[in-house]
Amino acid sequence: MIETAATSAIGLIAGGGQFPLLFAKAAKARGRRVVAIAHVNETAAELEALADHTYWVKLGQLGKIIASFKREDVHEAVFAGTITKTRIFHDILPDLKGLTLWNKIDRRLDDAILRAVADSLEKEGIRVLASTCYLGHLFFPQGLLTKKKPTAAQMEDICFGWRIAREVGRLDIGQCVVVRDRSVLAVEAIEGTDATILRGGKLAGSGAVVVKVKKPTQDFRFDLPATGIQTIETMKAVRGAVLAVEAGQSLVFDQQSMVDAANRAGIVIVGLGEDEHGEPKY
């Protein structure tokens, strides 16, 4: 539990999806006043009804975020939700502070960008907390979640994909890979997990194994891997076989609905830990 004696206000820098909505509800339940920064064309409008105050910004308007938080006496904030990463090429409207920061970033990878924004906030006296500070129950559990178990061959693919995904994460490229018969079919980059599954699953024909892990240097303040019922729907579209996710290091939304959908489709879902040799186990 996060104890916050300094202030009752907490800032929420919101992207898309249900995570910002869940965070706002949880923070309000803890007695926090929620000041939300919502992104145009990303954040659900429903957030306005949950937050005490909502400020809408366009991608890159860092100065407006800081000014809004200072106006509301916010000294703590979280990042929650997704931003469509390809928007940086065609739908970004930075203000002066955002443009100045952008030009200082030499490696425009996920962690580098988010850490730079977090550092800018903290220099302004706004401490960035872990996005899960009120939502620990959303961590992906370890063990078999579905009725169907992975076969021996699928476990080989899981172990193979685990090692590949770790390396991809180490390079700060993505967190998910799609494999079959110990061949890499797709590696997540800027397009996101669902697009990666579709691309790799089509190449597999059927039976694709999807492995999703945290990055070795994962910063729990932002960009945790996440899965939910949409992940299973995407796998169904390409007749995928297994979803293997690192337990305790990623988020799961609508868990029961996701598991029910997987059981109906005959898809395996498993939450993985590591053994003493760094190999995945459940």
pLDDT digits (tens, 9 = 90+) for 14-31: 999 999 999 999 999 999
Mean pLDDT of 54-59: 93
Q: How many residues does the chain have?
A: 282
Same-domain status, 159 and 98: no
Q: Confidence band (pLDDT; 50, 70, 90) for 65? A: very high
Check: CB of residue 77 under 8 Å from CB of residue 2: no
Residue 105 has pLDDT above 80, yes or no: no
Same domain membership, residue 276 and residue 146:
yes
| pLDDT greater than 80 at residue 85 | no
Its pTM stands at 0.85
In a domain, 134, yes or no: no
Q: Is the pLDDT of residue 5 over 50?
A: no
DSSP 23-65: HHHHHHHTTPEEEEEEETTTS-TTHHHHSSEEEEE-TT-HHHH
Average pLDDT of the chain to the nearest whole number: 90
Q: Say yes or no to pLDDT of 112 above 50.
A: yes
CATH number of the structural domain spanning residue 74: 3.40.50.20
> What pLDDT is stored for residue 223 in this prediction?
67
Is it the case that residue 229 has pLDDT exceeding 50? yes
The answer on 179 and 120 residing in a single domain is no
Residue 153 and residue 122 share a domain:
no
pLDDT at 115 over 90: no
Q: Same domain for 162 and 233?
A: yes
- The number of folded domains in the chain is 2
User: Where in the sequence is the domain holding 16, given as residue range(s)?
Assistant: 9-128
* Within a domain: 1: no
Whole-number pLDDT of residue 107: 57
Q: Are residues 144 and 276 in the same domain?
A: yes
Tell me: pLDDT of 130 over 50. yes
112 with 215, same domain: the answer is no
Query: Among residues 107, 128, 149, which one ends one of the domains?
Result: 128
Task: Give the torsion sign (CA, 117, 87, 251, 179).
Answer: negative
Write down the pLDDT at residue 88.
Answer: 60
CATH number of the domain bearing residue 221:
3.40.140.80
Residues 116 and 246 in one domain: no
Name the pLDDT band for 109 (thresholds 50, 70, 90). Answer: low
Span 144-188, pLDDT tens digits = 999 999 999 999 999 999 999 999 988 888 899 999 999 999 999
Q: Which of 93, 128, 163 is the last residue of a domain?
A: 128
- Record the tokens describing residue 18, joined without a space: 């249900």
